[in-house]
């Protein structure tokens, strides 16, 4: 499996059976959404910085609701959660997506704003790869994100939804930089241009790796 970071909360997952794009964003956030094709697009919630599946080519299947799906031997589960700490009263609902492909379990938390329910925590526990929002304000704070990651016990954490220089000012000023999560995590975060991973690689790995992927949004 090959994973690219396209910026914000958007990733490209290339599996042997097809390509998945998560949370494609509107360019008005200040980042340029790359031209990509996919079989599947997932949208965690309806805000413009996560909900532009029309920018993805290839006539993909768009998943915007909780439920269980199987597309080209890729198993996907959408689980309900909230975008804030008031059960969605401030920012609405959020969908956590689980993917299983090539025997690898991946969890994309979307814009998670509060700790999930016990039932959802049980469902998402021990993913091999965890896409984790770390910028705070709209989502979990860097400290809350670090605590949740330790509880979920993934093999690899990939941070998302944090401050970068290219973001529009009204968004950038409200998000914490990646360094704040690194401080809360307490360990150095490695940086890679992309992640190529197999099930065997994950079986052999020990502890939790935190990996920041370089964004491909230019």
Residue 72, Ramachandran bin (φ over 0: left; ψ between -120 and 50: alpha; else beta): left
How would residue 58 be classed by pLDDT, with cut points 50, 70 and 90?
very high
Higher-confidence residue: 42 or 88? 42
For residue 79, being part of any structural domain is answered with yes
How would residue 203 be classed by pLDDT, with cut points 50, 70 and 90?
confident
What sign does the dihedral 195-40-125-174 (CA atoms) show? Answer: positive
For residue 11, being part of any structural domain is answered with yes
Domain count, the chain: 1
pLDDT tens figures, 2-14: 999 999 999 999 9
pTM across the whole model: 0.94
For residue 109, being part of any structural domain is answered with yes
Region 148-167: mean pLDDT is 96
Indicate whether 154 pLDDT > 80: yes
The per-residue pLDDT for 123 is 95
For residue 218, being part of any structural domain is answered with no
The per-residue pLDDT for 205 is 81
End-to-end CA distance of the chain: 23
- Helix-, strand-, coil-residue percentages of the chain, each rounded to 5: 20, 35, 45
Indicate whether 218 pLDDT > 60: no
Region 157-184: mean pLDDT is 94
Report the mean per-residue pLDDT for the chain. 93
Characterize 21-58 residue by residue with b for buried, 16 or more Cβ atoms within 10 angstroms of its Cβ, and e for exposed: bbbbbeeebbbebbebebbbbbbbbebebbbbbebbee
The per-residue pLDDT for 81 is 92
CB 180 within 8 A of CB 152: no
How would residue 82 be classed by pLDDT, with cut points 50, 70 and 90?
confident
For residue 63, being part of any structural domain is answered with yes
Domain containing residue 43:
2-213
Identify the CATH number of the domain in which residue 156 sits. 3.60.15.10
Least-confidence region, from 85-89, 109-113, 170-174, 200-204: 85-89
């Amino acid at each position: 499996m090959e994973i690219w970071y396209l910026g914000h909360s958007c990733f490209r997952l290339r599996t042997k059976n097809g390509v998945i794009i998560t949370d494609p964003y509107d360019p008005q956030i200040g980042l340029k959404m790359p031209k990509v094709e996919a079989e599947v697009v997932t949208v965690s919630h309806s805000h413009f910085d996560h909900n532009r599946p029309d920018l993805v080519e290839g006539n993909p299947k768009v998943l915007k609701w909780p439920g269980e799906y199987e597309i080209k031997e890729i198993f996907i589960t959408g689980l309900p959660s909230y975008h804030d700490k008031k059960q969605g009263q401030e920012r609405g609902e959020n969908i956590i997506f689980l993917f299983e492909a090539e025997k690898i379990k991946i969890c994309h938390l979307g814009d998670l704003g509060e700790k999930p329910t016990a039932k959802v925590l049980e469902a998402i526990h021990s993913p091999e790869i965890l896409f984790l929002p770390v910028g705070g304000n709209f989502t979990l704070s860097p400290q809350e994100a670090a605590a949740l990651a330790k509880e979920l016990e993934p093999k690899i954490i990939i941070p998302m939804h944090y401050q970068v220089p290219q973001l529009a000012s009204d968004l950038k000023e409200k998000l914490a930089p990646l360094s704040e999560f690194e401080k809360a995590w307490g360990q150095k975060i490695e940086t890679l241009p992309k992640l190529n991973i197999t099930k065997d690689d994950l079986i052999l790995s020990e502890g939790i790796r935190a990996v920041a992927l370089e964004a491909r949004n230019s």
